[in-house]
Amino acid sequence: MKKLINDVENVVKEQLEGMALAHPELKVNYDPYYVVREDAPVKGKVAIVSGGGSGHEPMHGGFVGKGMLDGACPGEVFTSPTPDQMYECAKAVDSGAGVLFMVKNYTGDVMNFEAAAELVAAEGVKVQNILIDDDVAVKDSLYTAGRRGVGTTVLAEKIVGAAAEAGYDLEKCSDLCRKVNQYGRSFGVALTSCTVPAAGKPTFELGEDEVEMGIGIHGEPGIERMPLKSVDEMTQYAAEQIIDDPAYTRIVREWNGTEWEDKELTDEPFAKGDNVIAFVNSMGGTPVSELYAVYRKLDEVCKAKGINIVRNLIGPYITSLEMQGFSITLLKVDDEMLKFWDAPAQTPGFVR
């Protein structure tokens, strides 16, 4: 294992210390770990909080700042943060307007954010949890019940963060976040595995001439392992998994102010004429130059399917340590979503 680390047990702490030194506009807490805006809590503003295991940087801590997140909770590498982290972070950013927890659909994240929501609600804080479950590759995997939460998370943090900055209340922020999730679909491809520092060896084995289609951001298995293909072939495969995905219905849990309620949601498939944001993401070890080759073919596939790319995002935003590979996210957008996508943001990992 070759890593830029000292002691394995101090990996996250030392990375957070470096982040704090590099970005004085952030406040980093170490016991428990969380990152918040320097100006938090912002008077009258709904606080947007997310989090998850470390190893996916710049998500989530790199998206803390004006126009995106108010706070983020980093767990150990590929390990969910704990309820006390989420509780303390929420208390640090709540101005009285409420807190929206944006939760990727992984069992530990869902369970811990629900526990944190109950804790802050018991203290009179208005709170809501909205799930992100956009990965079309796998339902019910190693880490999840239902679809995994991946690339749409980044787009939701930008769009909903801008809405909160513009004055949306908690209910409107929650409704917008739910809509973004339902309008977004993602698919990932791995060319190599990755190594968690504490494990010291690759998460899975992948031959030199093999790729894993439908990979998860923790190295979870996909839907098919196949011989290495050209970038055009892999891109077309991934894009068609997203665009041709049928309607998807599931039950989620949301907080009604006193208890959890089940809510049935159905994501409608993409249709000819849809306007989308196209997000081509590096899994960590793939250079941006190769992502442009992916985007070139993605644009061609979308045009052939009658899908209109009106905005794009290309780069490493939701990574899996040093894994080589890419993911594609397509997000159907309306005028409301585009307005907030185009709004200013100032964070370490995303600037507009």
Query: Is residue 56 annotated as part of the catalytic site, yes or no?
Result: yes
Report residue 14: phi and psi, to 5°.
-70, -35
| Marked catalytic residue, from 56, 60, 185, 297 | 56
Percent helix, strand and coil across the chain, each to the nearest 5:
30, 30, 40
Q: Are 82 and 17 in contact (CB under 8 A)?
A: no
Angle at 269 between CA 265 and CA 272, to 5 degrees: 145
Q: By CB neighbour count within 10 A (0-12 exposed, 13-18 middle, 19+ buried), where does 321 fall?
A: buried
Query: What type of residue is 352?
Result: R
| Marked catalytic residue, from 104, 218, 297, 332 | 218
Length of the chain: 352
Rounded to whole angstroms, how far apart are CA atoms 45 and 164?
6
Rounded to whole angstroms, how far apart are CA atoms 346 and 328?
24
Rounded to whole angstroms, how far apart are CA atoms 5 and 224?
33
Rounded to whole angstroms, how far apart are CA atoms 145 and 140?
4
Query: Is residue 60 annotated as part of the catalytic site, yes or no?
Result: no
Active site residues: 56, 218
